[in-house]
Structure 1
Amino acid sequence: MNNNTRFFALVLPAAIAAALLVACGSPPVKPLPAPGPAVPGSAPGPVYDQAASGAARSWSPQMETVERQLAAGLNGTPMVLARTTDERLWLTLPGDVAFEPNRSALKPAATGLLDKVAAVLRGQPQLELRIVGHTDSKGSAAGNDALSLDRAASARDWLVARGLSPVKIGVAGRGSRDPVGSNDDEAGRAANRRVEILIGERALRSGSK
């Protein structure tokens, strides 16, 4: 073996080993994170938030199914369906079809919409709901707090009567704290007399929605 051959015989394997060591020790290139889901607005809008529907999905197949079924069942109705940034569905039952002023009894139009919601959610026992009631600003703060809680309870009781588990439904009342319309006119006050239903796969605590 001549000198050149001996050199390559000694150096080449070491060079290959070093290259392999560098390659194996390098961390893989990670893909860029996908954009999160859109934040739904509080104002009335289409039943299904199309901007949110184009966002990257990180939900389970079950949540995907529920979202599609609710969107189909509520299409053409006043009920608003959107997504939250913490991966829950957000349904809004508008005040003009939900409640009379100073009343917690559901209007017939509202019960019909809740029937559509119950028809989808009955087949999804892994889901948990948080129902939040709201009022307009008429009356006292304490009275509105109690009324908003009663409105949430009315929606819960209707859903329970149609087959949903009561242990998986939490209720809360926000009074007049979160208006979506002006309390200076009847149209705005009607919009504020609403119920919101948050749907998710994990336990929903008693904190803010």
Structure 2
Amino acid sequence: MRRTKHIRIGMPALLALAVVSACHRPSPVQTKPEGKPGPAELIELPNGTIAARPGSAVERMAHYLASQEPAPRTFRFEEAEFAPWSAHPNRETLGTLASIGVVLRQYPQTRIRLTGYTDNVGDAGRNLTLSTQRVTTLKALLIAQGVPEDHIETQGMGMADPIADNGTEAGRARNRRVEITITQK
């Protein structure tokens, strides 16, 4: 009888492993249905490559950091990032954040600000606290991936600056977000 050894791996390490593994597999060749994301493409980084979907925050951030364009520049995730009243990012956000961590480590002089927002449901004070918890959670995940703590500022904004209609669930989901601003490159 063969015995297997189980090893515990933390979520940030597991996500980074998944991203690195994906970078070493060729992208499948397929046609992209209208409105659906296409296959990932490899993007050259200073010390390697990363796979990212064309037009994604990861792809745009990697190209921006490699460019001569001055800071600041703000990036948003493509999907709804948080469930209502939750400071825990969804699976897609965790994957995107793992890729962003890989990109940021390639540009060690980069400094960022994570700005958190909520929808307009509930008390303004509670929403401000929640938005701060969200950016604190994402900051901790980036630090666990090797991004220096002193390179990450956080700011909770609560219900301020909605980007979508808070009168619909889809709009509220888009307003529950964190924006990443490159403040120095």
TM class, shorter-length: 0.5 to 0.7
Query: Are positions 1:151 and 2:134 aligned together?
Result: yes
- Secondary structure of the 1:137 match is coil
Matching residue of 2:170: 187
Matching residue of 1:75: 54
CA contact (8 A) 1:81 1:90 kept: no
Q: CA deviation at 1:79?
A: 6.8
5 Å-filtered alignment, 1:162-181, equals 162-181=145-164
**Sequence identity, in percent?**
31
Query: Are positions 1:88 and 2:88 aligned together?
Result: no
Matching residue of 2:94: 111
CA contact (8 A) 2:56 2:78 kept: no
Q: CA deviation at 1:74?
A: 4.6
Structure 1: state its 5+ residue gaps. Answer: 1-46, 48-64, 203-209
Cα RMSD over matched residues?
2.7
Q: Deviations over 1:44-81 (max 9, x none)?
A: xxx9xxxxxxxxxxxxxxxxx79xx89x7352547794
TM-score normalised by L of structure 2: 0.64
In 1, the alpha carbon distance for the partners of 2:129 and 2:59 equals 25
Q: Deviations over 1:134-179 (max 9, x none)?
A: 0000010000000011111111111111110011100001101110
Q: Deviations over 1:13-57 (max 9, x none)?
A: xxxxxxxxxxxxxxxxxxxxxxxxxxxxxxxxxx9xxxxxxxxxx
- Secondary structure of the 1:122 match is helix
TM-score normalised by L of structure 1: 0.57
In 2, the alpha carbon distance for the partners of 1:126 and 1:78 equals 19
Q: CA deviation at 1:122?
A: 0.5
CA contact (8 A) 2:82 2:177 kept: yes
- Secondary structure of the 2:101 match is helix
Q: CA deviation at 1:86?
A: 6.8
Structure 2: state its 5+ residue gaps. Answer: 1-36, 38-44
- Secondary structure of the 1:198 match is strand
Q: Which has the higher helix share?
A: 1
Matching residue of 1:99: 82
Candidates 137, 141, 146, aligned match of 2:120: 137
- Secondary structure of the 1:167 match is helix
